[in-house]
Structure 1
C-alpha cells in the first residue's frame, strides 16, 4: 500500500487524464480513490478506472460502485472471453476500459465501442441487470448483434448528486469534456498571471482569452456555441484578484433510441 501511494504522488507533477492500478484488491483501489479525490480538490482532474470482483453478485458490484459515488471514478463490472476461449482476468478489463477512456477524444463516447480480440461474455445478464448496472454506476461489457464485445455504457460511479453537481457528471464523456475545459483554461490563464494589469483592459484580455477557448471547443463539437465567460458580479475584482464565471453546455451523444410502432389493420381490396 505504501508503494502504491508513493507512486500516485510521484505522478502528481505530470498531466494525465486516466489512472488505474494492476490489482482489484479493495485496499489498493480505495487508496487510488482517495488520491483522485485529493487531486481533484487541488485542480488536477484524472479519471480513476477500477474493477469489481466477479465472485460478487451484480448487486454487490453495483453497491461497490455506489460507495465511491464520484464523477472522477469509473468501474468495470465484468470481463470477456479471448478469441482462444480463455476468460480475461478482471485487471485486463480494467486496462481495456482505462485505455478506451484515455484514448477516446472528448467529443466522442466509448459507448458501444467494440474491443479487439474478444469473442464472448462469460456472464449472461438480462436487460434489467444491464439497466441496474447503468443506474448504479457500473460499466459492463455486452455483446452486439454482430457478435462484437463492446462497452454497454459510459457512466461514472456518481449516482447521488450534491448541490453543486448536475447529471452530466454521471457520464464519462461529459466529465472528460469538463475536465478538458478546466485544464485548457488553466494552461491559458496561468500565462496571464503577472502579465496583465488588474484593470479594465487586463480583465477584458482574460475574458477574450476565455471566450476564445469556448469558441474553439464549440468548433470541436465538445460544447454548445452559447458559452459565456464573464466577470462574477457577486465577487468584484480587487487590486490584484478577479473572479469569473464560465457558463457552458456540454454535448452528450445519443445513447438510447426508443421506437413507438403504430400498426393498423387496413382491409385490402
Structure 2
C-alpha cells in the first residue's frame, strides 16, 4: 500500500500509514445574473405561433429579422432592444388561427407537389421552378416582391417531386404538404395564395405569457400600449417574482393621454418591478414612443451591470424630445414613478431619472426599491446567496452550529465580493436571533445590509467673501 491511500470519513484503518481524503471546503462557483436577456410578446406576419423563439443580437439586421419574425413594428421593436444592448430576446408571436399560403404544381400525367408557407402569414411568396444551367439539375427560386430569398438545385428525373421535397427541408419559408413522384412542369413567379395572419386578441397575449415560464429573462416588453394588457403582464411578472424569478417589465404610454393621465397610469402600477415611460424621443431613424421607447430602455437596462444606473443615460442616436415636459412636470414625474426623457446640458436626449413605478412603499419595502439600480443590485444579491445556500444544502450540510456557520460563511463571501465591486456598502448574514433553528429548518437574516446608489443629486454651497 502506498503512502497517502484514500480513507472515508469516520473510517478506521487496520494498518499504520498516512491516509488522505478531500472534500469541498466551500469553494462553489460564484453566480452572476446573465446580462442582456429580455422577452417580448408580439403580433407579427411571420414566425411560429405558440412557441418561444430566441433571437440573438447578431440577427439584428432587417433581412434576418424579417426571415425570423416578420416585418413592421415587431422588427422595429427588436431592433431597438438590440440597439439598447440586449443580447438575446425570447420572443413569442401571439395570435390564433390565420392561414398558410398554398401553391400546387403538377404535371397532368406525372408528379405533383403542394407547397405551403411554414407559418400562417399574409406575406406573398412566389415560386419559380425551372431547368438549371446544369442539364442534369432543376432549381427552385423563392422570391417576395421581386426579391430573391432562397434558391435550391436538385437532381432532375422521374422522381423530381420527391427530390424537391427533400431539398425544401432546408427552406426557412416553405414546407411540402404532399408530393407525388414524377417530373414537374416549369413555372415562373407563381404566388402562394390564401395566406392570412392570425387574429390577435387580448386573451392571446395573456395565454402566451406562460410560454415564457421555462425561460430566464431579466425584463419583459409588449408591442402594445394597451393598459389592460400591461396590467395582465404586471400580474404575470408578480407571479414570476413570487415563484422565485427576479424579473421586471418596461411599458410606455402612447402619448395620446394628457400628462396627468400618464401620471395616474404610472401610479396605478406602484411596483418596483414595473417601469413606465411617459414621453418619447426622436432618433435619426424613427420616433421612439410607446412600445419602441420601452424596448430601447429595456435593452439599455438589462445590458448594464447590476450597478449601472439609468439616470442621465443618453439615448444613442436621439436628436430631440417628443413631448418635452415643463420643469414642474419633471418634478411630478420624479415623485410619482413616471420615467421620462429630458435634455442633458449638451442638448442630447437622456433618461431623466432611473426610477420604476413604486411611489407608495408597502410594509416590506423601503425607499431604495424605487430606484432601478438598487432593485437590480438587490436582485443580484438575492440570486447569488440563494444559489450558494442551495449548493451547500445539496452537499448535506448539517443543521448544527458548524453547518449553519458554513452557510453563513458562503453567503458573506458573496456580500464581501459585492462590497469590493462597489454594489454594497456593508452587510452580513447571521442566524435569525428571533427564530431559533429546529429540526431540519434554520432561519437567517442580515445585519446592516446597505446597498449603494449612484451620486445623482449634488448640492453645492458657495460661500463668497468680499
The structure in which a higher percent of residues are helix is: 1
Please give the alpha-carbon distance, in whole angstroms, between the structure 2 residues aligned to 1:198 and 1:135: 46
- For residues 222 and 387 of structure 2, the distance between their equivalents in structure 1, rounded to whole angstroms, comes to 28
| Structure 1 residue 48 corresponds to structure 2 residue 228 | no
Equivalent position of 1:30 in the other structure: 231
- Greater radius of gyration (CA): 2
Q: Which has the higher strand share?
A: 2
Q: How far did residue 24 of structure 1 move?
A: 1.0
The alignment's C-alpha RMSD in Å is 1.5
Whole-Å separation in 2 of the counterparts to 1:79 and 1:108: 22
Q: CA deviation at 1:62?
A: 0.9
Give unmatched runs, 5+ long, in structure 1. Answer: none
Which residue of the partner structure matches residue 115 of structure 1? 315
1:24-79 CA-to-partner distances (Å, cap 9, x unmatched) read 11121111111111122222110111111311111111111111111111111111
SS at 2:305 equivalent:
coil
What is the rounded CA distance, in whole Å, between the counterparts of 2:403 and 2:376 in structure 1? 30
CA displacement, residues 77-132 of structure 1 (integer Å, 9 cap, x when unaligned): 11111225x53332110011111111121212111111111100122312211111
- Match of residue 171 from structure 1: 371
Q: Is the 8 A contact 1:53 1:61 kept in 2?
A: no
| Residue of structure 2 in register with 1:125 after alignment | 325
Are positions 1:16 and 2:16 aligned together?
no
Q: Which moved more, 1:202-211 or 1:188-197?
A: 188-197
Q: What is residue 60 of structure 1 aligned with on the other side?
A: 261
What does the per-residue CA deviation read over 1:7-35, in whole Å, with 9 as the maximum and x for residues that have no partner? 32222233222111111111211111111
Pairs aligned (count): 263
In structure 1, what is the equivalent of residue 274 of structure 2? 73
Please say if residues 104 and 110 of structure 1, whose CA atoms lie closer than 8 Å, have aligned partners that are also in contact: no
Quote the Cα distance in structure 1 between the aligned partners of 2:423 and 2:372: 13
2:324 and 2:341 in contact (8 A); partners too: no
2:228, 2:422 → 1: CA distance? 39
Alignment partner for residue 206 of structure 1, among 407, 418, 425?
Answer: 407
Q: Tell me how far 1:263 sits from its aligned partner.
A: 4.2
Partner Cα separation in structure 1 for residue 385 and residue 211 of structure 2: 24
Gaps of 5+ in 2: 1-201
Which of 244, 250, 259 is matched with 2:460 structurally? Answer: 259
Q: Distance in 2 between matches of 1:262 and 1:29?
A: 50
Contact 2:279 2:289 in 1 (8 A): no
Q: After TM superposition, list the pairs within 5 Å mapping 1:146-225 onto structure 2.
A: 146-194=346-394, 195-224=396-425
Question: 1:88 and 2:265 equivalent?
Answer: no
| CA distance, structure 2, for counterparts of residue 59 and residue 254 of structure 1 | 29
